[in-house]
């Protein structure tokens, strides 16, 4: 018979939420208690399934070649692994390919009005160099797991952007979604980019200019704020973020 | 898995193709930075190659074994850089850009397996969202945030006993609503007779 305390320990163990000492004690106990060991196995499998709830992202193709090269596997002709990514290196690569990737990412973005967004992207591209335009997909923060999708286009040269949302929960009365730009040089002072209007289906659209210029936006975020008191700084919970 | 453990590169490449998507997604969600996720991801698969002989199929599915290794690496990484999601700025800094890598694709030929993964992912998400919010929150902070129950208690400003009870109830409920152990990959292993990855 397994009591609630043992169930708790098994659940925490499955999630890796025990301290090292607690882990060792639990594993000793489970080794001597087959029923507890079975429960621990079951909960570990259950916990592993949570990995499926992470937003699906396809790993870059070069990683496969890099891994196989590292372990000494023969690499097929024409597949060139890249060096392991360093932050600066990867960031540089990302910056160089961001605009091109934007179009490719957009291809997978299953919005009903994605053609309209593409068209706008094309317009922006025509007006500026390709590298000045970025597409950012905002994702629900893990603490909140707010349903819905949001994506924005950012034109650094013009210091303007446009965000679109769909299927966001309609905010409670007196609350609204507020967009923020987090500049790399002033991360502690998010820049207000306006309130994102949401219709009764959670769809919204906002063309925005941040309240202050942002030379290097490190991220964009949506928080839930009181409507009647436009926030100068985020007060409410952050619901969506894109770096 | 057994073939990979015996040093078969082609078998390991197949394993990579099966696991790369969900593992990269997991790592990216945990570490929140695409470049860092790539580094951690590579370390994970190299570690899998080296540790494959230690895998015991009698104790866990391949998927859960890999997830355990992946989470361990990701948590080590988070701790080494000393960043945790506690403030607005940190939250923003660490959050994954989920679509950043969608432009490139791995070569996955097993469409049926992919479809199965999508189906499973939908099921797990659905069951997870059916949990009471406070249970889901505690479980996600532990699983994706790599927080201990003490840290979750402090983070949520809830008594330790409350946090433990939420996690216990939530995880038991998840277990009861998710059919079978291991989900998907383990099932695929069984069907294809590959579960004999247990090492002597």
Contacts of range B118-122, beta carbons closer than 8 Å, 24 or more positions apart: B120/A49, B120/A52, B120/B183, B120/B184, B121/A52, B121/A53, B121/A56, B121/B22
Residue A71 within any structural domain of the chain: no
Is residue A134 located within the same domain as residue A208? Answer: yes
Is residue A143 located within the same domain as residue A205? Answer: yes
Residue A60 within any structural domain of the chain: no
Q: How far is A52 from chain B (nearest CA, A)?
A: 5
pLDDT tens, residue order, chain B (200 aa): 778 777 788 889 889 988 998 999 999 999 888 888 999 999 999 999 988 888 888 888 899 999 999 999 999 888 887 644 443 444 444 444 433 333 233 333 345 555 666 677 778 888 888 899 899 999 999 999 999 999 999 989 999 999 999 999 999 999 998 865 444 444 444 444 443 333 33
Which of A70-74, A76-80, A110-114 is modeled with the greatest confidence?
Answer: A70-74
Instruction: Give me the CATH number covering residue B118.
Output: 1.10.10.10
Is residue A41 located within the same domain as residue A102? Answer: no
Q: How far is B33 from chain A (nearest CA, A)?
A: 8
Cα B80–A18–B54 angle (5° rounding)?
A: 75
> Can you list the positions of beta strands (E) in chain B?
none
pLDDT at residue number B192: 44
Does the structure show a pLDDT above 50 at A140? yes
Q: How far is A125 from chain B (nearest CA, A)?
A: 18
Q: Which of B38, B95, B103 sits opposite A63 (nearest CB)?
A: B38
Is the separation of the CB atoms in A222 and A240 below 8 Å? yes
Is residue A92 located within the same domain as residue A140? Answer: yes
> Which residues of A fall within a CB distance of 8 Å from B147?
17
Q: Which of A15, A61, A137 sits opposite B143 (nearest CB)?
A: A15
Is the separation of the CB atoms in A80 and A65 below 8 Å? yes
Residue A62 within any structural domain of the chain: no
How is residue A235 written in tokens?
Answer: 């007060």
| Distance in Å from the first CA to the final CA of chain B | 13
Answer whether A11 sits within 8 Å of B89, measured CB to CB: no
Is residue A47 located within the same domain as residue A100? Answer: no
Residue A58 within any structural domain of the chain: no
Residue A67 within any structural domain of the chain: no
Please give the residue that has the higher pLDDT: either B168 or A159: B168
Q: How far is A64 from chain B (nearest CA, A)?
A: 7
Residue A68 within any structural domain of the chain: no
pLDDT digits (tens, 9 = 90+) for A193-234: 888 988 888 888 888 888 888 888 888 999 888 875 555 677
Residues of chain B numbered 159-198 and touching chain A (CB < 8 Å): 164-165, 167-168, 170-172, 174-175, 178, 181-184, 186
CA-based nearest residue in chain B for residue A103 = B103
> Which residues of A fall within a CB distance of 8 Å from B26?
51, 54
Q: Which range marks the domain in which residue A126 is found?
A: 87-242
Is residue A98 located within the same domain as residue A159? Answer: yes
How is residue A162 written in tokens?
Answer: 């446009």
pLDDT at residue number B198: 38
How is residue B165 written in tokens?
Answer: 């009870």
> Which residues of B fall within a CB distance of 8 Å from A55?
25, 28-29, 96, 98
Question: Can you state the angle between helices A87-108 and B34-51, rounded to 10 degrees?
Answer: 100
Answer whether A44 sits within 8 Å of B60, measured CB to CB: yes
Is residue A41 located within the same domain as residue A92? Answer: no
Answer whether B38 sits within 8 Å of A104, measured CB to CB: no
The whole-chain average pLDDT of chain A stands at 78
Residues of chain A numbered 26-65 and touching chain B (CB < 8 Å): 41-64
What's the structural domain count of chain A? 2
Residue B128 within any structural domain of the chain: yes
Does the structure show a pLDDT above 50 at A51? yes
Residue A236 — pLDDT band, cuts 50, 70, 90? confident
Q: Which segment of A24-38, A39-53, A71-85, B18-32 scores lowest on mean pLDDT?
A: A71-85
| CB count in 10 Å sphere of residue A87 | 13
What's the structural domain count of chain B? 1
Q: How far is B105 from chain A (nearest CA, A)?
A: 5
Q: Which of B12, B143, B181 sits opposite A50 (nearest CB)?
A: B143
Q: Which range marks the domain in which residue B70 is found?
A: 2-191
Q: Which of B28, B167, B184 sits opposite A12 (nearest CB)?
A: B167
Answer whether B142 sits within 8 Å of A136, measured CB to CB: no
Is residue A220 located within the same domain as residue A158? Answer: yes
pLDDT at residue number B112: 55
Is residue A91 located within the same domain as residue A46? Answer: no
Residue A96 — pLDDT band, cuts 50, 70, 90? low
Is residue A39 located within the same domain as residue A148? Answer: no
pLDDT at residue number B93: 43
Is residue A94 located within the same domain as residue A48? Answer: no
């Amino acid at each position: 018979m397994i009591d609630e305390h043992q169930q708790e320990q098994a659940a925490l163990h499955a999630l890796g939420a025990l301290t090292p000492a607690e882990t060792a004690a639990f594993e000793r106990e489970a080794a001597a208690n087959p029923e507890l060991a079975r429960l621990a196995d079951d909960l570990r499998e259950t916990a592993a399934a949570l990995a499926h709830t992470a937003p699906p992202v396809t790993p870059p193709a070069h990683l496969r070649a890099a891994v196989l090269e590292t372990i000494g596997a023969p690499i097929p002709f024409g597949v060139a692994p890249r060096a392991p990514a360093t932050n600066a290196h990867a960031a540089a690569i990302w910056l160089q390919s961001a605009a091109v990737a934007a179009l490719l990412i957009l291809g997978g973005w299953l919005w009903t009005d994605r053609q309209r967004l593409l068209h706008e992207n094309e317009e922006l591209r025509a007006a500026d160099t390709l590298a000045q335009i970025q597409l950012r997909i905002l994702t629900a923060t893990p603490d909140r797991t707010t349903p819905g999708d949001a994506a924005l286009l950012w034109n650094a040269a013009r210091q303007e952007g446009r965000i679109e949302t769909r299927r966001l929960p309609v905010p409670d009365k007196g609350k609204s979604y507020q967009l923020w730009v987090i500049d790399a040089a002033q991360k502690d002072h998010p820049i207000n980019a306006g309130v994102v209007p949401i219709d009764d289906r959670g769809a919204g659209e906002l063309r925005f200019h941040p309240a202050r210029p942002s030379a290097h936006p490190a991220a964009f975020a949506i928080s839930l704020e009181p409507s009647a008191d436009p926030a100068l700084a985020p007060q409410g919970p952050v619901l969506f973020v894109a770096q | 898995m057994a073939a990979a453990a015996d040093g078969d590169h082609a078998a390991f490449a197949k394993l990579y193709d099966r696991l790369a998507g969900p593992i990269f997604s997991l790592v990216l969600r945990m570490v929140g930075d695409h470049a860092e996720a790539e580094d951690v991801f590579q370390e994970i698969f190299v570690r899998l190659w080296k540790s494959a002989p230690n895998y015991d199929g009698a104790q866990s599915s391949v998927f859960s074994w890999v997830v355990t290794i992946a989470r361990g690496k990701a948590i080590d990484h988070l701790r080494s850089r000393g960043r945790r999601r506690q403030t607005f700025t940190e939250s923003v800094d660490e959050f994954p850009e989920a679509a950043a890598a969608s432009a490139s694709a791995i070569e996955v030929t097993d469409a049926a397996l992919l479809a199965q993964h999508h189906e499973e992912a939908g099921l797990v998400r659905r069951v997870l969202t059916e949990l009471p919010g406070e249970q889901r929150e505690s479980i996600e902070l532990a699983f994706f945030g790599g927080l201990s129950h003490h840290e979750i208690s402090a983070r949520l400003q809830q008594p330790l006993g409350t946090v433990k009870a939420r996690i216990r109830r939530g995880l038991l409920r998840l277990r009861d609503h998710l059919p079978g152990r291991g989900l998907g990959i383990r099932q695929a292993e069984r069907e294809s007779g590959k579960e004999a990855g247990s090492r002597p």
